[in-house]
């Protein structure tokens, strides 16, 4: 293996420490405690784990955590009423509605009902537009975490060829916008892309956000490239015992690490950075709401 392993867990810990220090200053100097409200509708087990982790880390950073768990059959009107209440609650600086929502709820409508200033996931159409036009916005947490790791690893990204595989609104598209903002030459690939292998081989920065276990093999990676693996895929792990599972990314880690200059592991790469960025966004939202200087 030749690649540097980008330690997202350690980096996330550093970000969380900085967030906690900022929270202490907000409390001591201004008497303000940032608050994050997380709304979970239904009982999706993966979502429950995410929400639990978010709540725990919010409290550990010294912030207030408000959890709202609603039954799967919650009506759209009731969910919108709760969001309305959170929008006007001065103790709540960030609102996150855990996705996916049950099928009878219109996700776009729900997300766009969040006050854009409290939209710490950065999915509100106003924040999407602000990001796309290079204006100050709330930046989606997963792509923000990826960008932070890339800057830390490479310094300036200017002029580099970046390929983002995946065009979802929550990862692929905002990732591409952020890379463009850092003056990369950006290609967005997806399921209809022709000769994906060749497209990937041109990438100085390769971001995989597909959701297909180990679909990008090492021979699609340009020698020396920086590889960011966003994918979280659960696959059977009979070696751990019957019925056991393990997590893998969208990149075949072992073969890609032979070729890449640097690569994020799964788990321990992008995942931990996502929650750290959520906490950072909540502090940013709190500072903006109170007319105070934002964290760097
Ligand atoms: P989506 O399913 O919304 O999007 C997947 C994208 O991959 C689509 O644009 C799709 O193309 C593309 N795609 C699918 N198959 C192929 C293929 N064979 N070749 C090329 N492109 C393909 O997923 P998300 O963006 O929500 O998530 C992607 C992955 O990232 C998942 O594994 C998810 O679990 C993980 N994730 C991790 C997070 C973290 O914190 N680490 C946070 C969020 C997501 P098309 O549009 O043409 O269908």
Residue nearest to atom 5 of ligand 1 (CA): 210
Residues flagged as binding site for NADP(+):
166-168, 232
Contact by Cβ (8 Å): 266, 248:
yes
Catalytic residue among 121, 182, 229, 250: 121
Residue 146 Cα to ligand 1 midpoint, Å, equals 15
Q: Tens digit of pLDDT for each residue in 241-252?
A: 999 999 999 999
Reported as a pLDDT band with limits 50, 70 and 90, residue 129 is very high
Query: Domain map of the chain by residue range?
Result: 30-121, 141-272
What would the two tokens of residue 189 be? 């690939």
Q: In what order do the strands lie in the sheet with 64-70?
A: 64-70, 35-41, 94-97
pTM of the predicted model, to two decimals? 0.97
pLDDT of residue 136: 94
Catalytic residue among 57, 98, 153, 177: 98
Residues flagged as binding site:
166-168, 232
54 catalytic residue (yes or no)? yes
pLDDT of residue 116: 98
- Tell me how far apart the alpha carbons of residues 85 and 48 are, in angstroms, rounded to a whole number: 23
Q: How far apart are the first and last CA of the chain?
A: 35
Residues 6+ apart with CB under 8 A from 166: 172, 188, 189, 190, 207, 208, 209, 210, 211, 230
CATH numeric code, 30-121: 3.40.50.10860
- Say yes or no: ipTM exceeds 0.95: yes
30-121 with 141-272: one CATH topology?
Answer: yes
- Tell me how far apart the alpha carbons of residues 231 and 209 are, in angstroms, rounded to a whole number: 5
Residue 187 Cα to ligand 1 midpoint, Å, equals 15
- Tell me how far apart the alpha carbons of residues 28 and 45 are, in angstroms, rounded to a whole number: 38
- Give me the chain's average pLDDT, please: 97
Residue nearest to atom 15 of ligand 1 (CA): 191
Residue 1 has pLDDT above 80, yes or no: no
pLDDT of residue 6: 98
- Tell me how far apart the alpha carbons of residues 56 and 52 are, in angstroms, rounded to a whole number: 6
Contact by Cβ (8 Å): 22, 52:
no
Residue nearest to atom 24 of ligand 1 (CA): 168
Q: Bridge-partner residues for 247, per DSSP? A: 234
pLDDT of residue 295: 86
Candidates 179, 211, 208; CA nearest to 196 is 208
Residue 294 Cα to ligand 1 midpoint, Å, equals 31
85 catalytic residue (yes or no)? no
Report, at the CATH architecture level, how domain 141-272 is classified. Answer: 3-Layer(aba) Sandwich (3.40)
CA angle, 209 then 210 then 214, to 5°: 100
Pocket of ligand 1 (CB under 6 A): 142, 165-168, 170-172, 189-193, 196, 209-212, 230-233, 270-271, 274
Q: Tens digit of pLDDT for each residue in 21-79?
A: 999 999 999 999 999 999 999 999 989 999 999 999 999 999 999 999 999 999 999 99
């Amino acid at each position: 293996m030749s690649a540097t392993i980008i330690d997202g867990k350690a980096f996330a810990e550093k970000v969380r420490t900085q967030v906690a220090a900022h929270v202490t200053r907000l409390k001591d100097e201004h008497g303000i405690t940032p608050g994050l409200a997380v709304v979970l509708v239904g009982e999706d087990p993966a979502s429950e784990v995410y929400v639990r982790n978010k709540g725990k880390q919010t409290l550990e950073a010294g912030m207030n955590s408000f959890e709202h768990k609603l039954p799967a059959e919650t009506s759209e009107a009731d969910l919108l009423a709760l969001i309305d209440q959170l929008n006007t609650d001065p103790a709540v600086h960030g609102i996150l509605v855990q996705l996916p929502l049950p099928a009878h709820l219109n996700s776009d409508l729900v997300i766009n009902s969040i006050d854009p200033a409290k939209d710490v996931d950065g999915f509100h159409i106003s924040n999407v537009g602000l990001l796309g036009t290079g204006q100050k916005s709330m930046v989606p947490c997963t792509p923000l975490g990826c960008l932070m790791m890339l800057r830390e690893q490479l310094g300036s990204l200017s002029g580099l060829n970046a390929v983002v595989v995946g065009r979802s609104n929550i990862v692929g598209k905002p990732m591409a916008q952020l890379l463009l903002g850092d003056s990369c030459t950006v290609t967005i690939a997806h399921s209809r892309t022709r000769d994906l292998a060749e497209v990937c081989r041109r990438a100085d920065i390769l971001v995989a956000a597909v959701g297909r276990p180990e679909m990008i093999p090492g021979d699609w990676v340009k020698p020396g490239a920086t590889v960011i693996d966003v994918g979280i895929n659960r696959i059977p792990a009979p070696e751990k015992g019957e019925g056991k599972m393990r997590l893998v990314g969208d990149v075949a880690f072992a073969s890609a690490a032979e070729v890449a200059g640097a690569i994020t592991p799964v788990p321990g790469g992008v995942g931990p950075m996502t929650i750290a960025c959520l906490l950072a966004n909540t502090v940013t939202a709190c500072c903006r709401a109170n007319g105070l200087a934002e964290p760097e």
